[in-house]
Amino acid sequence: MTGLLAPTYTVDPWDPGYGVARGDELDGRESTARLDVGLEVPAERWQPITPAPGPLPGSVLFLDGVQRIDARIWHHGDGPEPVPGIAASVAAGLVRCDGAAQIVDWKVDRGFFAEQGEDIKTRHATYAFHRTLGGLDKLTFGVTHRMSELEVELAARWREQSGAEDDLLVVDGPLRGRTHLARTVGYVKTHQKSYLQREQAVVIGALGPGQRSPVFGMGTSWERRSWYLRLPGATRAPWAAVVRLECSADLAVEEAVALADVTALVLPALASVPHKDPRAPQNLVPIGGLERQLKHRLGDAGLLYRSLRGAFAA
């Protein structure tokens, strides 16, 4: 360790536009989460786990969504002040990887999020009204909420159609609100809070590529099981290439451990590389590809903006 005598520097691997993958308050002090670190192994025996080879899922599904604010709208109602609103486009898609990556389903939805109003019909699209309370800041939560709904809708529809029993669904972001989906894990790329105490956090720093932490139980506003996984392509930045996965708390510990092993076997191969993805390696290749295509399918922003202005000018 030469750090004290000759301080060295590391450039964070993520594009600065996306923030940092790891916050600077990761000593666990701030966390109010209830932890159960002894779920898989006792807390004092925590160490990196190399997954045991086992049966792999027949296909891995990646679920992700994108959103874009097409315009901010002022609704001039009866009140003295106009009411703010947002016209936004959201899209969700599902990629199946089973030898070939294919977008098996996708959906675009456009909504008008405001406290009051009605559907906006434009030349190119219709924005369905969604009553959303709160100020300007809260409106964006409405958009995100709509996107999550779309994602759940797609996932449920696929599960209904496909009839596959051995697939694994990876949802981009926390699993909140989607815990009812079977064989599903949430995939969290950023770590704004540390849920672990210092002793366990050291183990995360020591993970080798493809290794995972033991499964631990976690409860904030909702209960789940979680584990950390290190992808290949790490730099010297702290917690580089580490992602956190979570699954439903309804699963038995053995089931959760098996799921953790499967993710540690499947996901490292899909890590992206820095010159192709600004959030490499955490932003997995299928998710990056899906996001690009979904953004494309949101439609041309300029065209939609003009059509919105046109709709009210007429």
Partner 1 sequence: MPEPNGATDLAVGPNGQARPVGLVVGTVAASPLEFSVGVAADQYLQLDDVVVTKRKLPDGSEVQIAGVVTQIEAGHEGARFASDVFLIEQGALPAEVSEVAEVTVTRVEPEVYVPPRPGSPVMRAEGDARDSALYFDTMADAKVPIGIGRDGQPVYLNFEFVDGTRGGHVSISGVSGIATKTSFATFMLHSIFNSGVLHGEAHNTKALIFSVKGEDLLFLDYENSRLTDAMRAKYGVLGLPSSSFRNVQVFAPPRPGDPSGTPDVRARDRAVSPFYWTLAEFCEQELMPFVFADGEDERAQYTMLIGQVAARLKRDYTKVGADGAISISGVEAVNGGPIRTFEQLVGLIEDELLDEELRRDWVAGSTSTGSVNAFLRRLRSAVKPLERLIRSDLKDRGDRSLTTSKAQVTVIDLHNLPDRAQRFVVGVSLRQEFRRKEEQGTARPLMFIVLDELNKYAPRDGDSPIKQILLDVAERGRSLGVILIGAQQTASEVERRIVANCSIRVAGRLDPAEASRPEYGYLPPAQRQRATIAKPGTMFVSQPDIPVPLAIEFPFPAWATRPAEKGAWTGVDDGPAPPADPFAGLDDDPPPF
Question: Could you give the C-alpha distances from 265 to 131, 229, 230, 260, 268, in angstroms and in order?
Answer: 43, 10, 11, 9, 7
Query: Which tokens belong to 78?
Result: 């009866």
DSSP 22: B
Query: In the complex, what is the shortest distance from the CB of residue 249 to partner 1, in angstroms, rounded to a whole number?
Result: 30
Q: Which is nearer to partner 1, 30 or 300 (CB)?
A: 300
Does residue 170 contact residue 185 with C-beta atoms inside 8 Å? yes
Task: Give the number of other CB atoms < 10 A from CB of residue 135.
Answer: 8
Query: In the complex, what is the shortest distance from the CB of residue 197 to partner 1, in angstroms, rounded to a whole number?
Result: 36
Query: Which tokens belong to 34?
Result: 């209830």
Query: In the complex, what is the shortest distance from the CB of residue 95 to partner 1, in angstroms, rounded to a whole number?
Result: 5
Q: Which is nearer to partner 1, 192 or 293 (CB)?
A: 293
In Å, the largest CA–CA distance within the chain is: 70
Q: Which is nearer to partner 1, 34 or 292 (CB)?
A: 292
- Cβ neighbours for 159, distance < 8 A, ≥ 6 positions apart: 169, 181, 182
Q: Which is nearer to partner 1, 105 or 172 (CB)?
A: 105
242-248 and 184-188 beta bridge pairing: antiparallel
Vertex 249, ends 45 and 223: CA angle to 5°? 95
Q: Which is nearer to partner 1, 49 or 97 (CB)?
A: 97
Positions in the binding site for partner 1 (CB under 8 A) = 93, 95, 97-107, 269-270, 275-276, 285-286, 288-290, 292-293
Q: How many helices and strands, by DSSP H and E, does the chain display?
A: 5, 11
Query: In the complex, what is the shortest distance from the CB of residue 142 to partner 1, in angstroms, rounded to a whole number?
Result: 25
Q: Which is nearer to partner 1, 206 or 269 (CB)?
A: 269
Query: In the complex, what is the shortest distance from the CB of residue 288 to partner 1, in angstroms, rounded to a whole number?
Result: 8
Query: In the complex, what is the shortest distance from the CB of residue 108 to partner 1, in angstroms, rounded to a whole number?
Result: 9
